[in-house]
Structure 1
Amino acid sequence: MSVKGGRGFVGGPVGLLASGEEKGARAEEAEGLVAGRRETEEEGKVVEEVKEARTAAGAMNMTKHLWSGAVAAMVSRTVVAPLERLKLEYIVRAEQRNLFELIHAIATTQGLKGFWKGNFVNILRTAPFKAVNFYAYDSYRKQLLKWSGNDEITNFERFIAGAAAGVTATILCIPMDTIRTRMVAPGGEALGGVIGVARHMIQTEGFFSLYKGLVPSLISMAPSGAVFYGVYDILKMAYLHSPEGKRRASTMKQQGQEANALDQLELGTLRTLLYGAIAGCCAEAATYPFEVVRRQLQMQVKATRMNAFATCLKIVDQGGVPALYAGLIPSLLQVLPSASISYFVYELMKIVLKVE
């Protein structure tokens, strides 16, 4: 009895001790699981906060990028508005007078403000167009670089990114261009402002009349964007890889944030203006016939509407092949300062707004 009782006496506390240790271990394990869950939740919150911060930063950077392109368009278009007006007179009204006679006629009948006729509408069109165009090109270029895995994109990829950017901006912005063209065409003034012209076109010709000339626009803007951005980027990279360009980059790195915005331009002021002008003239000369056809399509009314090919044949039949280049000289005179100022202001605004 005593032995059995002893065993029972000894065995009882040991069992209780073991049970207590198990409970303690389970409690510690539970506490560990709770702590782990808390850490996981905290890590998840941190990850979400980081994602939100990155999203917000990306949205802010995109906004700054778009504003850079928009401001560039506003400044450049306002400066060259008189030349844009002369170009439209040759294309839309089939003006036969020489350049000096046309300038005198506008100044006499409408005064100096006549040279800026339609400029506000032009800005409404070109500001979003250039904003989307510049941003799309940089986005497509970065994406192509990411896909290729190289340190630098090829010239072919530059042309592809430029073409895609031109197509993207054209699809989004062509309605305003159609309205602007109709406003300066004969009878356009009687329709009122932007809203009046848009309402008249939609009521009489349907909503898709705002997209007149979309096909030739896409056909022209794809190569135009490819040439414009491709030529500028090729010239830019050639300079940056040259000994002079490397020296400038080294000097800029040493100066850091102490340098003013103009000194922070990778190409410098004069070279940025020059390369922008060259790129703009190359793009304009390469695609100008499409511009002439597009303007004629936008002027057509529903009763006499023709497709792009028939319109092109009609232009050639009436004025020969040179008719496809009507207004090219004033157009080049307009594009040269417009493209140079546009690229200069765009690059400058990216520095001022700290676009990444």
Structure 2
Amino acid sequence: MEDPRRALKILVAGGVAGAVSRTATAPVDRVKLLLQVQDVGPALTIRDGFHRMAAEGSLRAFFRGNGTNVIKITPETAIKLTANDHIKRLLVADLDDITPVQRLVSGALAGATAQFAIYPLELVRTRLAVCPSGHYHGIVHCFTRVLQEEGHRAFYRGLTPSLIGILPYAGVDIATFELLKEHMLDVYDGAPPPYCILGAGMLSSTVAQFVSYPLALTRTRLQVQGYCGRPVKYAGMVDVLTKTVANEGFQGLYKGILPNLVKVAPAAGISWFVFEEAKLLMGMNPRI
């Protein structure tokens, strides 16, 4: 018999998983954003990004924007994983019969649902991470200034490439992890070792990143243009992609992907591990 509190348990497990994983990798996430938005002059390196944060003079500089990130990622992960579980059950009557394509569709729709729900926090997180120290005094101040100076539509700037990008990312990530976990459960005849869950999460996220990264870069550039001294250079998603390829080459679409992989791969591994462990602690069946 299905646990009537299943949705709540998945919501809690997903929220905890998101908060823990993102805090552990916050400094690398800020470096990634600094590299993504730099579209003129000599290209920043990962070392340059860390030096720039260190020059701000405090440990807090390495975690600037992480408060917003945690506030964002906690409900995002919780909503995504809860929606994925619900959508799978709408697609098939018996989860033992679900196909890889159905897993892909379920993950993609769940990711889009979560992304739309928390997108204003994504914009605030990006602004806090890339604007000079002192420009904003925190999450509430950033929200207030964006609303007063740019209007409510600014909170959804870059939403289209974000939603388009999350469909393949979430679909590939969730489907790949679930297939790997299913195989491991058969191999180990029960819960697999922690390093296997970590590895499966890192692998699934890495594959998904390569599929969707150009759209993540597009979203970030749209979010920060026209603010903190940055000119308005792009008319929309297609304009960003076209100008990036024309001015920076095809490799420009993947600017910042190395620190992103360094951050996202372990973050995804940690997130999936915490999620699976939390489910076990709440007495849930690891196979469903």
TM-score between both structures, scaled by the size of structure 1: 0.73
Residue 255 of structure 1 corresponds to none
Q: CA deviation at 1:101?
A: 3.5
Counterpart position of 1:137 = 84
For residues 224-275 of structure 1, give each alpha carbon's deviation from its aligned partner in whole angstroms, at most 9, with x where no partner exists.
011001111121223334xx33xx23xxxxxxxxxxxxxxxx2221111110
Hey, what does 1:273 align to over in structure 2?
Answer: 198
**Matching of residues 83-94 of structure 1 within 5 Å:** 83-94=28-39
Q: Deviations over 1:325-354 (max 9, x none)?
A: 011111111111101000000001111123
CA distance, structure 1, for counterparts of residue 219 and residue 182 of structure 2: 34
Work out the CA distance in 1 between the residues paired with 2:143 and 2:217: 22
Supply the distance in 2 between the matched residues of 1:320 and 1:284 (Cα, whole angstroms).
19
Confirm whether residue 107 of structure 1 aligns to residue 54 of structure 2: yes
Q: CA deviation at 1:75?
A: 0.7
Q: Name the residue aligned to 2:244.
A: 315
1:150 positional shift = 6.9
The one-letter amino acid of 2:71's match is L
Q: How many residues align?
A: 278
How far residue 186 of structure 1 moved from its aligned partner, in angstroms, is 3.0
**Structure 1 vs Structure 2 CA RMSD:** 2.2
Distance 2:171 2:56 in 1: 40
- Residue 353 of structure 1: aligned partner: 282
Q: Is the 8 A contact 2:66 2:125 kept in 1?
A: no
Bigger Rg, which one: 1
- How do 1:200-211 residues align onto structure 2 when only pairs under 5 Å count? 200-211=145-156
Mind listing any 5+ residue stretches in structure 1 that lack a counterpart?
1-53, 250-265
Q: Which runs of 5+ in 2 are unaligned?
A: none
8 Å contact 1:183–1:189 — kept in the other structure?
no
1:100 CA displacement: 2.4
Per chain length, whose mean CA-contact separation is higher, i.e. which structure has more relative contact order (CA < 8 Å, sep 6+)?
Answer: 2
Q: 1:82 to 1:185 in 2, by over 3 A?
A: closer
**Distance in 2 (alpha carbons) for counterparts of 1:276 and 1:150:** 21
Q: Are positions 1:184 and 2:129 aligned together?
A: yes
Amino acid at match of 1:280: S
Paired residue secondary structure (1:190): coil
Aligned to 2:207: 282
CA gap 1:211/1:355 in 2 versus in 1, 3 angstroms: farther
Work out the percentage of aligned pairs sharing the same amino acid. Answer: 30
Equivalent position amino acid for 2:12 in 1? W
5 Å matches for 1:105-184?
A: 105-146=52-93, 151-184=96-129
CA distance in 2, matches of 1:97, 1:274: 30
In the superposition, the TM-score normalised over structure 2's length comes to 0.89
SS in 2 for 1:354: coil
